[in-house]
Amino acid sequence: MQPFLSIIIPAYNEAERLPLTLVDIDKKLSKAEYSYEILVVNDGSKDKTAEAVRGMQKGIKNLKLIDNEANKGKGGVVRQGMLLSRGQYRLFTDADNSTSIDHFNNMLPYFKEGYDVVICSRTAKSSKLEPAEPFYRQIFGKGINLLVQALLLPGMWDTQCGFKAFTAEAAEKIFQAARIPGWSFDVEILSLAKRVGCKIKEIPVHWVNESHSRVKFSSGLQFLRDLVKIRWWLWTNKYQISGVEHPELKAKDPDTGSLTKK
């Protein structure tokens, strides 16, 4: 039976933070009237992330693990989870629980209105950040975003908030075509959503700032390179919207443990 909602959580060395996030998600969604599955996609962690998830599967029956031995990057494992999941709606969120799963209920009315992609935005009116990002990170983020808007997504002020939901149809089209493995994948998937004609809605978020962010300033140069790649690939029609097969899709089935492709 197709679940109503699939939650995809990319995880790299998250053995400490992830269990609390999983408990919180399951506790809140267990009260929902719709069915759901939680897919943790282990990105070749060097700690006991996979063991932690397996240890919680008895208590959280709809919890599944996609365990990758090699590191694929956040973009790679989110793509993998999106295409191996089965939900009518597919959402990815961060392992640190900076955005509560409750926000999905705020997204539902927009899906019913006909939107294909609904994303949380820290710059949207009524958004609440606890605490606010340090001033230097705000300046850095705004500078990067201006480049994103100039090259790819005019009018979109927060492409990097890690809480985004898609209809199954939109997810299939977008993530089969996606190619970027790193943290700039958010810009790519939103650009692809725009390319295929998806209706995108930004909504406010209550965002809890993670003081131990793993995104470093040194990643900024790669981000800029990726922006140029995405722009070039769009100009030259390098993206194939359907019929694309990625090596990332080859993984152990969360239910049977056998190798499978979507």
CATH number at residue 220: 3.90.550.10
* Residue 32, C-beta contacts closer than 8 angstroms, at least 6 positions apart: 105
Is residue 251 a part of any domain in this protein? no
Amino acid at 15: A
Strand-pairing partners, residue 5, are: 36, 89
Is residue 254 a part of any domain in this protein? no
Is residue 262 a part of any domain in this protein? no
pLDDT band at 242 (very low <50, low <70, confident <90, very high): low
Closest residue by Cα to residue 155 from 201, 219, 207: 201
Count CA atoms within 13 Å of residue 103 on its CB side: 28
Give the model confidence (pLDDT) of 121-131 as tens digits. 999 999 999 98
Is residue 48 a part of any domain in this protein? yes
Task: Please state whether beta strands 5-11 and 89-93 pair in parallel, antiparallel, or not at all (unpaired).
Answer: parallel
Structure tokens at 192: 């692809």
Structure tokens at 258: 């056998």
- Helix or strand or coil: residue 71? coil
pLDDT of residue 158 exceeding 70? yes
Is residue 98 a part of any domain in this protein? yes
pLDDT of residue 262 exceeding 80? no
**Percentage of the chain with pLDDT > 90?**
77
Closest residue by Cα to residue 73 from 217, 198, 226, 204: 226
Give the model confidence (pLDDT) of 128-148 as tens digits. 999 877 776 777 778 888 999
The single-letter DSSP state of residue 33 is: S
Is residue 83 a part of any domain in this protein? yes
pLDDT at 210: 67
Closest residue by Cα to residue 45 from 23, 63, 67, 64: 67
Give the model confidence (pLDDT) of 51-75 as tens digits. 999 999 999 989 999 999 999 999 9
pLDDT at 53: 98
Determine the structural domain holding residue 84 and report its residue range. Answer: 5-245
Into how many domains does the chain fold?
A: 1
Burial bucket for residue 236 (CB in 10 Å: 0-12, 13-18, 19+): exposed
* Residue 203, C-beta contacts closer than 8 angstroms, at least 6 positions apart: 103, 106, 107, 110, 118, 119, 120, 121, 124
Is residue 65 a part of any domain in this protein? yes
Closest residue by Cα to residue 132 from 120, 122, 146, 145: 122
Estimate to the nearest angstrom the gap between the alpha carbon of 74 and the chain centroid.
Answer: 8
Q: Give Cα separations from 94 to 78, 144, 162, 192, 241 (angstroms).
A: 10, 21, 6, 21, 26
**Percentage of the chain with pLDDT > 70?**
87
74, 9 Cβ separation under 8 angstroms: no
Is residue 261 a part of any domain in this protein? no
